[in-house]
Amino acid sequence: MGEQRLGRGVGWHVVSSNEVQSELSLEQGTQLLLSLSSMQSAIAHLPAEASRNLIVVSSKQPAAVADRLADAGVDLDAVAQIPISGSETEYEGPMATCDSLVPDDLTGLSMRLSRAFEALGDGGGTLLVENLNVFLLYADESRVVRFLDHVTGLAADHGISGVYAVVGDAVDEETYNRIAASVDSAIDCA
């Protein structure tokens, strides 16, 4: 890969997984798209600095997310999850959670992320959106792209780094390129 494309109005670099170092690092405010296989976890690709002030948007149950984060060495006291689910989620543990949102409530998710970013202030942090495909299943592609463009800009404005995962084989090239246009960099880890 390694070709130059345009994203967020600036040049961004696409690299293949064999070019990715074992420990990813992002400058504060950088927005990154990870293309994964369906069996890969975005948590395995979190940058080292994501261990503080981490916001996770995931359709997985909070207990499962907490277990994987703990296995990755992340301090759960510094993590908040926004669960995406059609049913109630229950979790008792050190990770902060809130009521779940249905996958097509992109406005509600945007509002929660905005409040979370405000709460972090200028101290930075990392946003992990574990699987964009979930939103693409339940909401119109153009809405998802507008949502992602809004969230990446908002995150960057607050000095929040963003890691947005997509199962690359499950989206067509046009959809992938529309999503990738909202970020600074894209890495194919599949």
Domain boundaries, given as residue ranges, for the chain = 27-188
Per-residue pLDDT at 66: 95
**Residue 10, token pair as written in the block:** 């600036």
Task: Please calculate the CA angle 137-1-156 and round it to the nearest 5 degrees.
Answer: 60
CB 77 within 8 A of CB 147: no
Interval 72-89 mean pLDDT: 88
Distance CA(25)–CA(164), nearest Å, equals 14
Residue bearing tokens 């947005």: 164
Distance CA(105)–CA(98), nearest Å, equals 15
Distance CA(118)–CA(125), nearest Å, equals 11
If one compares 119 and 21, the residue with the highest pLDDT of the two is 119
Assess whether pLDDT exceeds 80 at residue 22.
no
Per-residue pLDDT at 121: 76
If one compares 16 and 31, the residue with the highest pLDDT of the two is 31
Helix crossing, 141-157 with 173-180: angle to 10°? 20
For residues 135, 138, 140, 144, the Cα torsion angle rounded to the nearest 10 degrees is: -10
Assess whether pLDDT exceeds 60 at residue 60.
yes
Superfamily of domain 27-188: P-loop containing nucleotide triphosphate hydrolases (3.40.50.300)
Residue 110, class by beta-carbon neighbours within 10 Å (0-12 exposed, 13-18 middle, 19+ buried)?
A: middle
Smallest CA-to-CA distance from 33 within 142, 174, 158, 161 is with: 161
Q: What is the pTM of this model?
A: 0.87
Task: Lowest mean pLDDT of 38-42, 89-93, 180-184, name the range.
Answer: 89-93
- Which amino acid, 149? D
**pLDDT per position as a tens digit, 32-55:** 999 999 999 999 989 888 878 999
Assess whether pLDDT exceeds 80 at residue 13.
no
| Phi–psi pair at 151, nearest 5 degrees | -65, -40
